[in-house]
């Protein structure tokens, strides 16, 4: 990814829109586009099929265009749009710049250099092909909860354990390990997500304590955790709430993120029904003004 490194220095990125008829071609193109130096990909459904927005460092444009020509010669391709370097929030969301989560944690993609504050740890997170797992207020809020809870969890039990439900890029599990968790289990239904998690673990030199698998919550039979984080859509979360509650140690916590403010009541009620109590909420607006919430529940 030498070309991506060069481009990121002056922050020049292009957005290339490609409209594809089927998801199989979209998946192949995504893989090839990453290989050719694409830094981030957004997938949208469109009336004609699937729209891929490829965020490409300017220096990698020719290679990415060649990949599109090879994989999807029939695809409709939009004229590349330059992304203004000043559009920080879009670039951050797509994982194209460094982001300060707290005075203790800075996140950055591997191809961007960043200087951290004294005492601030850096976490390298690349999206890889983990679709739909771009950095989002819900990820930010989950990280804030981990940041806030870590000192207490550490003082209660230096061997504190974390479960990351729907790990995506692995960001929450890896952050917890950086904050001192002894063990983090991270799983996802999507094999591309667990692949990205393993790659990010390697990029950060985090090897011990991380258990990654592709699958469902049922695979974790008799384990309990000091903290369970679940950044999922409400519809994905609801069927998992009882199973999550059963895996939280007495006195431990669950963080339910990925919720819009008006979805919280239903989730709180379902969590209370299985013995969790509501002990906090963090909120953050996205670029559209929608308010995202991350609930803290306690066993
Ligand atoms: N934890 C990451 C990713 C959140 S996106 C972050 O905070 O940024 C949600 C992820 O949950 C997706 O990767 C999706 O594949 C996964 N997912 C959805 N339902 C799931 C389920 N029932 N079990 C496991 N993973 C699930």
* Dihedral of alpha carbons 248, 160, 144, 124, sign: negative
Q: CB-hemisphere CA count at 13 Å for 96?
A: 32
Judged against a pLDDT cut of 50, whether residue 134 lies above it is answered with no
For 267, the enclosing helix (H) or strand (E) is helix 264-273
Judged against a pLDDT cut of 80, whether residue 109 lies above it is answered with yes
* Dihedral of alpha carbons 219, 222, 223, 227, sign: positive
pLDDT at 84: 67
pLDDT digit string (tens) for 193-202?
999 899 999 9
Confidence of residue 129 (pLDDT cuts 50, 70, 90): low
Mean pLDDT, residues 1-28: 69
Token pair, residue 88, equals 């920080």
Is 190 near ligand 1, meaning CB less than 6 Å away? Answer: yes
Confidence of residue 58 (pLDDT cuts 50, 70, 90): confident
**What residue owns the CA closest to ligand 1's atom 16?**
166
**What residue owns the CA closest to ligand 1's atom 5?**
133
Judged against a pLDDT cut of 50, whether residue 9 lies above it is answered with no
Torsion of CA 279, 286, 198, 153, to 10 degrees: -20
For 46, the enclosing helix (H) or strand (E) is strand 40-46
Single pTM value for the model: 0.79
**What residue owns the CA closest to ligand 1's atom 7?**
139
| Phi and psi at residue 277, to the nearest 5° | -110, 150
pLDDT at 89: 55
- Minimum-distance ligand 1 atom for the alpha carbon of 167: 1
Token pair, residue 13, equals 């990125």
Distance CA 111, CA 164 (A): 26
pLDDT digit string (tens) for 170-186?
999 999 999 999 999 99
pLDDT at 68: 96
Distance of alpha carbon 168 from the chain centroid: 5
- Rounded to 5 degrees, what angle do the CA atoms 191, 193, 196 make? 110
């Amino acid at each position: 990814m030498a070309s991506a490194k060069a481009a990121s220095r002056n922050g020049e990125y292009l957005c290339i829109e490609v409209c594809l008829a089927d998801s199989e071609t979209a998946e192949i193109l995504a893989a090839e586009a990453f290989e050719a130096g694409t830094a981030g990909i957004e997938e949208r459904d469109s009336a004609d099929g699937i729209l891929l927005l490829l965020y490409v460092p300017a220096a990698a444009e020719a290679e990415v265009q060649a990949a599109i020509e090879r994989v999807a010669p029939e695809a409709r391709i939009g004229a590349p749009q330059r992304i203004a370097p000043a559009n920080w929030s879009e670039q951050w969301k797509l994982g194209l710049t460094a982001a300060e989560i707290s005075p203790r944690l800075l996140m950055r993609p591997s191809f961007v250099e960043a200087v951290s504050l004294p005492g601030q740890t850096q976490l390298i997170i690349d999206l890889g092909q983990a679709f739909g797992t771009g950095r989002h207020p819900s990820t930010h809020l989950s990280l804030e909860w981990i940041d806030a809870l870590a000192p207490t969890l550490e003082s209660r039990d230096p061997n504190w354990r974390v479960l990351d439900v729907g790990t995506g890029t692995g960001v929450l599990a890896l952050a917890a390990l950086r904050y001192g968790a002894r063990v983090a289990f991270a799983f996802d239904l999507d094999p591309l997500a667990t692949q990205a998690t393993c790659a990010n673990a390697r990029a950060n030199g985090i090897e011990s304590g991380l258990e990654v698998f592709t699958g469902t919550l049922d695979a974790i039979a008799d384990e309990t955790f000091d903290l369970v984080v679940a950044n999922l859509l409400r519809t994905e979360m609801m069927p998992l709430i009882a199973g999550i509650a059963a895996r939280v140690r007495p006195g431990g916590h669950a963080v339910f993120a990925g919720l819009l403010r008006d979805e919280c009541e239903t989730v709180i009620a379902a969590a209370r029904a299985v013995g969790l109590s509501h002990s906090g909420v963090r909120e953050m607006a996205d670029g559209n003004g929608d308010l995202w919430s991350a609930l803290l529940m306690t066993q």
